[in-house]
């Protein structure tokens, strides 16, 4: 059953009760990585957990489906080319979550890009306990996704 989450802004990424932060350097240039983040349907090509992605509300939002049936309706809360792309979840079928935002921050690293992804969330006590141990799986998902993105961008 879908439920509405508390609307949060970009500041939530820094103050959320649960924050998972991952970073990795890839060879693709910052501008190309940023364009890939903005290309919502393209996420299915490089982020293995994303099974469907489409822009909504004239590009101000996203409908995302993940492996296992998780669904998110999101609002883009920052699109500051080429440095920051962030969104919050407005509606989801995940139980116990009250707020969730993700930020992708990009910085030049030589001729490539340092990609930092922050997953920021809050929810019931049971949700917060349940989400902490998924950090390792998120770390692997992030590594796999940015590696696939780097390969995709190198091939284009």
Residue 46 lies in a domain: no
Percent of the chain with pLDDT over 90: 97
**Residue 138 maps to a domain:** yes
Strand partners, 61: 56, 75
Taking the model in full, what pTM does it have?
Answer: 0.95
pLDDT of residue 80: 97
Does residue 15 carry a pLDDT above 80?
yes
Task: Answer whether residue 1 shows pLDDT above 80.
Answer: no
Tens digits of residue pLDDT in 39-76: 999 999 999 999 999 999 999 999 999 999 999 999 99
Confidence of residue 4 (pLDDT cuts 50, 70, 90): very high
Mean pLDDT of 95-116: 97
- The answer to whether position 66 is within a domain reads no
pLDDT reported for residue 132: 85
d(CA 17, CA 96) in angstroms, rounded, equals 14
HSE (CB half, 13 Å, CA atoms) of 137?
7
- Tell me whether residue 125 is in a domain: yes
List beta partners, residue 74.
62, 89
- The boundaries of the domain holding residue 112 are 3-39+73-155
| In-domain check, residue 55 | no
CATH at residue 124: 3.30.530.20
If one counts the domains in the chain, the total is 1
Is position 109 within any domain? Answer: yes
Predicted confidence (pLDDT) per residue in 20-42, tens digit: 999 999 999 999 999 999 999 99
Following CA atoms 135, 138, 139, 145 in sequence, which dihedral angle do they give, to the nearest 10 degrees? -170
């Amino acid at each position: 059953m879908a439920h509405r989450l508390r609307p949060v802004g970009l500041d939530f990424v820094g103050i959320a009760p649960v924050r998972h932060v991952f970073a990795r350097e890839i060879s693709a240039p910052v501008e190309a990585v940023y364009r890939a983040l903005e290309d919502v349907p393209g996420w299915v090509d490089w982020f293995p957990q994303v099974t469907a992605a489409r822009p909504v509300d004239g590009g101000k939002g996203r409908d995302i489906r993940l492996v296992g049936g998780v669904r998110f309706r999101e609002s883009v809360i920052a699109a500051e080319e080429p440095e920051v792309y962030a969104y919050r979840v407005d509606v989801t079928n995940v139980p116990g979550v009250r707020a969730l935002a993700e930020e992708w921050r990009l910085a030049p690293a030589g001729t490539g890009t340092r990609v930092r992804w922050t997953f920021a969330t809050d929810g019931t006590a049971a949700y917060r306990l349940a989400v902490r141990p998924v950090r390792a799986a998120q770390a692997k998902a992030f590594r796999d996704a940015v590696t696939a993105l780097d390969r995709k961008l190198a091939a284009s």
